[in-house]
């Protein structure tokens, strides 16, 4: 039975990840060479994208056959298995950053490498493909930055189609990371708390967020971050949804929480300002009215947290 749809961009990955096949090296080699398999090349962590066929059609991910991609790989190129699509094709992501940009050579005139965030914001490729690109980007980024053993410093080898690295010297195993982050909307009656980080674009307010620390539960992280950043005490933390966030590999865990206190004290470091907004103000802003501030667009989980709470009132 299918899962309920998740409202967040980069979620709802449609592939079968076939984790049981990753250890089967013969199967993996066969799929990597199979002319029916497809590769999406990445260059500087940007996926290859084909232009629109007609205006308004949307762009397509540049899924290329092995014979177009394999000649451009070097012995150090990272290639990871993404999964099997509904047509039974094996899909791979491969990093070609070590060589000359193929946009100017082998792929000239076909398309270009594009920033994933821009593609997500503009809604130019389908949600399912955005989710697959998030998976590919996080995986490639991890391999490029984790070539050496964290235990002994020796160069490590990629194993299991990219889902593990093993140190040939001390035998330590290393797995691709996912870093959990809580992002939460604290509410009190008919008001919700939003804050501004100094780096935010002018006028934007969003949900508060922070990394979960070792040995901490989701609820404890929500309560700690709310107290540290805004001086607000919360209770009754409720989970809403999660969003994979490939910058480089966070998992945003969206929650709502009830504030027990109202007086805001910002830390001045992570937040420069935080204040309470009424449900009516937020409803108007979501509907596109100018109220002198704005909230993140629909591709951000903060938007979904705000919208869910507004729609309940
Ligand atoms: Zn080692």
Ligand 1 centre to CA of 110 (Å) is 42
Ligand 1 centre to CA of 166 (Å) is 8
For residue 181, the model assigns a pLDDT of 98
Residue with tokens 């994208």: 49
Domain co-membership, 137 together with 199: no
Q: Is residue 95 part of a domain?
A: yes
- Nearest CA-CA partner of 62 in 137, 146, 125: 125
Domain co-membership, 186 together with 230: yes
Domain boundary pick from 120, 145, 170: 145
Report H helices in the chain.
Answer: 25-33, 66-69, 116-122, 127-145, 218-230, 279-286, 301-312
For residue 104, the model assigns a pLDDT of 92
Q: Is residue 150 part of a domain?
A: no
Domain co-membership, 122 together with 40: yes
Residue with tokens 């971050």: 225
Domain co-membership, 136 together with 31: yes
Ligand 1 centre to CA of 121 (Å) is 40
Domain co-membership, 139 together with 191: no
For residue 149, the model assigns a pLDDT of 98
Q: Is residue 51 part of a domain?
A: yes
Domain co-membership, 123 together with 197: no
The boundaries of the domain holding residue 292 are 179-312
Cβ contacts of 46 within 8 Å, gap of 6 or more: 113, 114, 115, 116
For residue 19, the model assigns a pLDDT of 96
For residue 2, the model assigns a pLDDT of 78
Q: Is residue 12 part of a domain?
A: no
- Number of domain units in the chain: 2
Domain co-membership, 221 together with 134: no
Ligand 1 centre to CA of 152 (Å) is 4
Ligand 1 centre to CA of 43 (Å) is 29
For residue 24, the model assigns a pLDDT of 97
Q: Which long-range contacts (CB under 8 A, 24 or more apart) does 266-272 make?
A: 266/195, 266/229, 266/230, 266/231, 267/228, 267/229, 267/230, 270/197, 270/210, 270/228, 270/229, 271/195, 271/196, 271/197, 271/208, 271/229, 271/230, 272/196, 272/197, 272/198
Q: Is residue 169 part of a domain?
A: no
Ligand 1 centre to CA of 47 (Å) is 31
Domain co-membership, 191 together with 304: yes
313 residues of the chain, pLDDT tens digit each? 578 889 999 999 999 999 999 999 999 999 999 999 999 999 999 999 999 999 888 999 999 999 999 999 998 899 999 999 999 999 999 999 999 999 999 999 999 999 999 999 888 899 999 999 999 999 999 999 999 999 999 999 999 999 999 999 999 999 999 999 999 999 999 999 999 999 999 999 999 999 999 999 999 999 999 999 999 999 999 999 999 999 999 999 999 999 999 999 998 888 999 999 999 999 999 999 999 999 999 999 999 999 999 999 8
Domain co-membership, 184 together with 121: no
Q: Is residue 39 part of a domain?
A: yes
Ligand 1 centre to CA of 215 (Å) is 25
Ligand 1 centre to CA of 142 (Å) is 17
Domain co-membership, 188 together with 305: yes
- 206: domain CATH number is 3.90.79.10
Token couple for 23: 């250890």
Ramachandran quadrant class, 61 (left: phi over 0; alpha: psi -120 to 50; beta: rest): beta
Domain co-membership, 198 together with 290: yes
- 132: domain CATH number is 3.90.79
Ligand 1 centre to CA of 21 (Å) is 26
Ligand 1 centre to CA of 159 (Å) is 15
Q: Is residue 72 part of a domain?
A: yes
Ligand 1 centre to CA of 77 (Å) is 21
For residue 3, the model assigns a pLDDT of 85
Domain boundary pick from 84, 119, 145: 145
Ligand 1 centre to CA of 134 (Å) is 29
Ligand 1 centre to CA of 245 (Å) is 29
Domain co-membership, 213 together with 99: no
Q: Is residue 154 part of a domain?
A: no
Ligand 1 centre to CA of 150 (Å) is 7
Q: Give the Cα separation of 93 and 78 in Å (integer).
A: 8
Cβ contacts of 26 within 8 Å, gap of 6 or more: none
Ligand 1 centre to CA of 32 (Å) is 28
For residue 123, the model assigns a pLDDT of 86
Domain boundary pick from 123, 145, 167: 145
Ligand 1 centre to CA of 290 (Å) is 56
């Amino acid at each position: 039975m299918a899962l309920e749809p998740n409202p967040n961009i980069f979620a709802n990955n449609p592939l079968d990840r076939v984790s049981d096949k990753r250890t089967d090296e013969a199967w993996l080699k066969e799929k990597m060479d199979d002319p029916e398999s497809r590769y999406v090349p990445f260059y500087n962590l940007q996926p290859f994208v084909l232009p629109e066929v007609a205006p308004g059609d949307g762009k397509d991910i540049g899924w290329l056959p092995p014979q177009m991609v394999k000649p451009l790989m070097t012995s150090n190129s990272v290639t990871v298995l993404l999964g099997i699509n509904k047509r039974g094709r094996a899909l791979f992501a491969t990093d070609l950053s070590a060589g000359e940009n193929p946009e100017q050579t082998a792929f000239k005139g076909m398309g270009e490498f594009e920033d994933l965030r821009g593609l997500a914001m503009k809604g130019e490729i389908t949600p399912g493909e955005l989710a697959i690109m998030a998976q590919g980007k996080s995986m490639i980024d991890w391999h490029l930055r984790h070539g050496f053993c964290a235990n002994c410093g020796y160069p490590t080898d990629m194993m299991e189609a990219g889902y593990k690295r093993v140190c040939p010297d001390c035998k330590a195993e290393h797995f691709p990371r996912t870093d959990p982050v809580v992002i939460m909307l604290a509410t009190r009656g008919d008001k919700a708390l939003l804050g501004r980080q100094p780096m935010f674009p002018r006028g934007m307010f969003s949900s508060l967020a922070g990394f979960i620390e070792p040995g901490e539960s989701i609820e404890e992280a929500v309560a700690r971050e709310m107290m540290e950043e805004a001086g607000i005490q919360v209770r009754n933390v409720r989970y809403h949804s999660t969003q994979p966030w490939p910058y480089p590999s966070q998992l945003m865990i969206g929650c709502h929480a009830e504030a027990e206190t109202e007086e805001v004290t910002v830390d001045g470091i992570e937040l420069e300002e935080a204040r309470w907004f009424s449900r009516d103000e937020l409803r108007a802003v979501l509907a596109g009215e100018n109220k002198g501030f704005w909230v993140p667009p629909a591709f951000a989980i903060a938007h979904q947290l705000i919208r869910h709470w507004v729609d309940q009132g």
